[in-house]
Amino acid sequence: MGKVKTELLAFCVVMLLVIWQGVAWAEPLTVSWAELRTNRPETCVVFLDTYENYSTCSPQTASARLFSKKYDACTPGTKNLDGQTVRIAGYAHPLEFEFRDVKSFLLIPPLRQDCRHPPPPLPDQVIAVEFSKGMNVTADPVWVTGVLRLVRSKTHIVTTAYTLEATAVVPATIPDVVVND
């Protein structure tokens, strides 16, 4: 009877290791910027549309500062992505005026092209990224892979709804950076 228990225990351990390895090496979920904003309240649609599509840039930037608490409430982030290993394409924006061996940066979607100084993206469209290996930041888009967390953070530049501990940062192409699905 002892041999059967030992074999059963060994089988269970092997199965747990196989399952654990499968989870650890699972393909990351590829997400778009639109998926990061799916939980926006219906009551905020007009308010946020006005911010995102305002015809001139100066009032928009001023309103961003005035109504920052409302913007935060209207951009809660997508809860079902919290804790997921994801892959997302965007543009790396360093937090400081450093472009080599950058370990902390913001990942953002494409910004409006009709403004010289576009307003910051809304919090659910910004990811604060930590990448311990460091990277050189360029104007080219990148794919960032890692565990996404729904955790608000504030920098001197913008408020973010998400943080991401990156395991990989690789080049992307402009068409990879999907904003609207």
Q: Phi and psi of 143, rounded to 5°?
A: -95, 130
**13-22, 30-39, 103-112: range with lowest mean pLDDT:** 13-22
pLDDT of residue 18: 45
pTM of the model: 0.79
Average pLDDT over residues 17-38: 74
Strand 127-135 and strand 162-171: pairing?
parallel
State the amino acid at position 17 in one-letter form: L
Q: Which residue has the higher pLDDT, 118 or 71?
A: 71
Parse the chain into domains and list their residue ranges.
29-176
**4-13, 47-56, 62-71: range with lowest mean pLDDT:** 4-13
Q: Per residue in 153-174, pLDDT tens?
A: 988 888 899 999 999 999 999 8
Query: CATH homologous superfamily for 29-176?
Result: Protein of unknown function (DUF3299) (2.40.50.870)
pLDDT of residue 156: 82
Output the average pLDDT for the chain: 83
Residue 62 pLDDT greater than 70, yes or no: no
Q: What is the 3-state secondary structure (H, E, C) of the chain?
A: CHHHHHHHHHHHHHHHHHHHHHHHCCCCEECCCHHHHCCCCHHHHHHHHHHHCCCCCHHHHHHHHHCHHHHHHHCCCCHHHCCCEEEEEEEEEECCCCCCCEEEEEEECCCCCCCCCCCCCCHHHCEEEEEEEEECCCCCCEEEEEEEECCCEECCCCEECEEEEEEEEEECCHHHCCCCC
pLDDT of residue 181: 52
pLDDT of residue 85: 98
